[in-house]
Chains A and B, each alone.
Chain A
Amino acid sequence: MLLIPCPWCGPRDEVEFRYGGQAGIAYPADPEALSDDEWAEFLFMRDNPTGPFAERWYHVHGCRRWFDAVRDTSTYRFISSNPPGEEAT
């Protein structure tokens, strides 16, 4: 059971959260301008690193707010978390 640092609520049990995949994948400004390959790259392709990984999490059974967090995928430990688009604390 991960202990996830919600930037608003503090550390809470994993069961309160929903995973939102890799952070920092912005919705394209003009999807229609993208080729099929470019759109597929946005839609399907994500990183899968060993080590620190920036992720989105949603405190669905808590404050119902989204945030970004950096988690080490080899130890599962959270390194930092921050509201979307803000600097890590």
Chain B
Amino acid sequence: MTARRLPSGGSTIDRSRPISFTFDGAEVPAFEGDTIASALLANDVVGGFRSPILGRPRGLFSAGTEEPNAFVEISEPWFEPIVAATMVDVVDGMAVRSRPGVGRLRASPESRPLEHRHAHVELLVVGSGHDGFYPARDAAGRGERVMLVDQHRTIQRGAGGDFVAEGVTYLTRTTALGLYDEGYATVLERAAELDRLWHVRAKRVILATGAFERSIAFADNDRPGVMLAYASWLYHVEHGVVPGSRAVLFTARGGAYGAASNLAANGVEIPAIVDVGMTDPDADLIDDAEVLRGWVVSGTGGDHRLEAVHLEGPDGERRTLECDVLLVSGGWDPNLALWRAIGGGVRFDDDVHAFVPTEGPPWLSVVGAAAGEVTNDAPFWFVPAEDTSRHFVDFQRDQTVADIADALGTGLRSIEHVKRATYIGTAIDQGRTSGVLTAAIVNAMLGEHAGAQGPSNARPPSVPVAYATLAGRFRGDLFDPIRTTPLHAWHVEHGAVFEDVGQWKRPRFFPRAGESMDRAVERECLTVRNAVGAMDASTLGKIDVVGPDAPAFLDSMYTNRMSNLAVGSMRYGLMLGLDGLVLDDGVAMRLAEDRYLVTTTTGNAAIVLDRFEEWLQTEWPELRVYCTSVTEQWAVVAINGPLARDVVDAVGTDVDLSREAFPLMTFRDGQAVGVPARIARVSFSGELAYELHVAGWHGPLVWDAVMAAGQAFGIEPYGTEAMHVLRAEKGYVIVGQDTDGSVTPADLGMDWIVNPSKGDFIGKRSLRRADLVRPDRKQLVGLLPQDADAVLPEGAQLVLDEAAEIPMALAGHVTSSYRSPALGRAFALAMLEGGHAMHGRTVFAPLRDRVLACTVTSPVSYDADGARRDG
């Protein structure tokens, strides 16, 4: 039916199922089981590709993963930016276009369905040829879990054909992308319905990855129609296709004669075999073929397709032969890409004239052709010539023998340097047809032994793989877990705008219809300052610390004393790293003599718990303390504002809320709205405040009751943005926003919380280190922009002299910045060198379009004497 398809044969195609696809817009008929490459070849399309840098016409060079020329973008029925045409099975209706070596992403690519799967096996075998198949079968016979993968569409035990051994998980059209420590492998399966990335942990791995045919470098060896000899054999056996009508073989290997005789037997004219070596195969296999021993191909002719080869004899004689195919074989090179990427060694074996494996990881072995079971004759790497600037070595990088000579001419000697000077081996084919050739040419040009330097290293993934495949289904909502509080549904219903805090969704503000964020935050702040607001504080990290040694343990973890805290009381605490720098803050509630509830910042809950565990397990295993995360067990409703007491009273509780009976920084266990509740008097706004801690499942009930009871007092919900403004007005820092891992308690003006008399605590000794007591350290200050409406950008740098030359000496940076409704102006917190002694001075924030002058102040800009917190 097509030009180059034979009337019969082809082990992988189904002639009863004709299909078609488009290549660069033109319809191409194919059979099911064709690759894009075999279908193109069957339609006598050999070229149609271009080299990425020089734009030279290029054609199909191989039949497998080593393909350096024929790359396509798939646009239908799925999108794939770039893939070798030799590796894609045609699907009816598929649309592909040729791509020079670089892929292009779509703005929103629809990839194939993807999934990841994990497997644990005793044995993973890569490559299902004879040498891989039998070890897999034998291991399965011993009852081991075995996975056998092959990148071809069928198991390759013999000459094609499906063959399944019982107990073996065998995956076809599957490529091992990489091997990693201790038998970990990533394996990409291109199943009919989806792409599946396997994560395999194997006790043993056997590589039966075969060998790649070696090319030979000669002038214009990249013309379409020049092809590896074995590739033509494969196209015939698997797809019933021959590559042309008149073929010449150029070989350094007697074994390659078979490829020519195979074509001859199928009607392809073979005018000559150019045998550069003096091998002595049975040349009578092919009638009429002239065997030119000691000759070389010195060049090719033709335009977009090979039309002739120029030959040169041992005594300088020249001939030209017409042909449309030139088969090339320089020999076989074991495919050791996976072996070498995991640290396996190689040496050049002078018997087989190839790099063969030496020592590797104990769990990994190599068998068959990959292990060096190949037959080569004396190697021949490139045809000597005056001008080697069209002797292509790496087709995808358009690099030639002359380019290698140039690199060596600059004084480079290492193959790794040559690689980086020429980029040979760095394209997406990873130099599978150029790596060994380049090493051999470098060694020859340096006058060294053929194996003096091995090829440069390959790295995973062994074939191009889309990021979408690596991501699998972990995209969109599944990219990262989303944590919501028991009150989340209410927030959604009431139009909250959320922000991400760690993995939590927290309401940032609750806009009314048509209200901007600034207006909403201003309203929420004023509501708290003037009446009462309610906030969902459930995300605060909560750790239950219990045991007879809990008081002593917490004394060691916090800068202040927790052991003398009375049951029923709570205390703010600061936690340092061993280096004396602020790590986290929170409040400890003493629930009983031997029990505390410790809160952490929302984003640090897991870090603090891990830290507790680390000290308890590794340094003080004798302490009798247990720590349990209870963050998600509690819903916390924070009620802040001068009318907070009235609201809690209206909600209904058996706890005496009076100022005398229930002072600040104490808590009471009782009930609210008829459910058990822990009520705490703790304020992060500076206003009178209560927190209602209830079981998570009671959260919605209590929140609804608070909002209902609070209606009479003008209650409104507020979000994290208003919370930030309110706390910044009070100069309360947020660890991780106002601190950045380089800040001491003294830098924050919080010496008061460091208790040097209580004995040792984590970080204490570091606070005396010379660098931590420098007077010119950055210290927390408040800033009032002299333009009261100018809100400084957070992160803005501060300088002392606005007229200084650029680069200016930086004196600090803005950490928090807002417009304060209570103050009626913009304000900020900043870390400023020597800032504690600079109150009243002016500093400058040079911005892109203007310089803002700011007055340095105390960080506390609202209610400095704390008159409001008791209501």
Residues of A near any B CB (own CB < 8 A): 1-3, 13-14, 18, 20, 26-28, 30-32, 34, 36, 39-40, 43, 56, 58, 60, 64-66, 75-77, 84-85
Contacts and interface: CB of A to CB of B under 8 A. Distances in A.
A5 to B, nearest CB: 10
A3 B613 contact: no
Given A31-B765, A43-B578, A20 B614 contact: yes
Contacts, number: 58
Given A31-B765, A39-B766, A39-B769, A3 B181 contact: yes
A77 B183 CA distance: 11
A76 B181 contact: yes
A60 B617 CA distance: 13
B865 to A, nearest CB: 36
A64 B765 CA distance: 29
Interface residues of B, number: 23
A77 B769 contact: no
B760 A65 contact: no
Interface in B751-803: 760, 764-766, 768-770
A64 B579 CA distance: 24
A13 B201 contact: yes
Nearest to A11: B182
A2 B793 CA distance: 44
B610 A58 contact: yes
B181 A27 contact: no
Contacts of A1: 180-182, 184, 201
B502 to A, nearest CB: 16
B286 to A, nearest CB: 52
A18 to B, nearest CB: 8
Interface of B: 180-184, 201, 361, 578-579, 610, 613-614, 617-619, 621, 760, 764-766, 768-770
Contacts of A13: 184, 201
B621 A34 contact: no
A45 to B, nearest CB: 13
Given A1-B180, A20-B614, A76-B181, A32 B621 contact: no
Contact of A43 (B183, B579, B764): B579
Given A1-B181, A1-B184, A31 B764 contact: yes
Contacts of B184: 1, 3, 13
B613 to A, nearest CB: 6
Given A2-B181, A13-B201, A66-B613, A27 B619 contact: yes
A49 to B, nearest CB: 19
Given A13-B201, A64-B613, A77-B182, A36 B770 contact: yes
A27 B763 CA distance: 11
B768 A36 contact: yes
Given A2-B181, A32-B760, A65-B617, 6 more contacts: A1-B181, A31-B764, A34-B765, A36-B769, A60-B610, A66-B614
Nearest to A85: B621
Nearest to B613: A64
Nearest to B186: A1
Contacts of A58: 610, 613-614
Contacts of A26: 619
Contacts of B361: 75
26 contacts: A1-B181, A1-B184, A1-B201, A2-B181, A2-B182, A3-B201, A13-B201, A14-B181, A26-B619, A28-B765, A30-B760, A31-B760, A36-B768, A36-B770, A43-B578, A56-B618, A58-B610, A58-B613, A58-B614, A64-B613, A65-B617, A66-B614, A75-B361, A77-B181, A84-B618, A84-B621
A13 B361 CA distance: 18
Contact of A3 (B182, B578, B621): B182
Central interface residue in B361, B579, B618, B621, by most chain A CB within 10 Å: B618
B844 to A, nearest CB: 36
Contacts of B769: 36, 39-40
Contacts of A30: 760
A60 B621 CA distance: 18
Given A1-B184, A32-B760, A77-B182, A84 B579 contact: no
Nearest to A18: B610
Main secondary structure of the interface of B (DSSP, over half): helix
A39 B610 CA distance: 24
A80 to B, nearest CB: 15
B316 to A, nearest CB: 55
Contacts of A3: 181-184, 201
A42 to B, nearest CB: 9
A30 B764 CA distance: 11
Contacts of B182: 1-3, 77
B805 to A, nearest CB: 36
Contact of B766 (A43, A75, A76): A43
A18 B611 CA distance: 12
Contacts of A27: 619
B566 to A, nearest CB: 29
Nearest to A31: B765
A32 B768 CA distance: 9
Contacts of B610: 18, 58, 60
Contacts of B614: 20, 58, 66
A28 B768 CA distance: 16
A86 to B, nearest CB: 11
Contacts of B180: 1
Contacts of B764: 31-32
B544 to A, nearest CB: 15
Contacts of B613: 58, 64, 66
A43 to B, nearest CB: 6
A66 B618 contact: yes
Contact of B765 (A2, A39, A60): A39
A66 B765 contact: no
Contacts of B201: 1, 3, 13
Nearest to A74: B343
B250 to A, nearest CB: 44
A84 B617 contact: yes
A41 B619 CA distance: 18
A26 B615 CA distance: 11
Contacts of A18: 610
Nearest to A4: B182
A14 B770 CA distance: 39
Nearest to B606: A60
Q: When A and B form their complex, which 10 residue pairs have the shortest distance between CB atoms, in order from nearest?
A: A31-B765, A3-B182, A1-B184, A66-B617, A27-B619, A1-B180, A2-B181, A66-B618, A76-B181, A84-B618
Contacts of A66: 613-614, 617-618
A35 to B, nearest CB: 10
Nearest to A38: B765
Contacts of A28: 765
A87 B309 CA distance: 73
Contacts of A77: 181-182
A32 B618 contact: no
A47 to B, nearest CB: 18
B93 to A, nearest CB: 39
Contacts of A40: 769
B619 to A, nearest CB: 5
Contacts of A34: 765
Central interface residue in A26, A27, A40, A76, by most chain B CB within 10 Å: A27
Central interface residue in B182, B201, B621, by most chain A CB within 10 Å: B182
B699 to A, nearest CB: 27
A10 B184 CA distance: 16
A87 B760 CA distance: 30
A77 to B, nearest CB: 7
B124 to A, nearest CB: 14
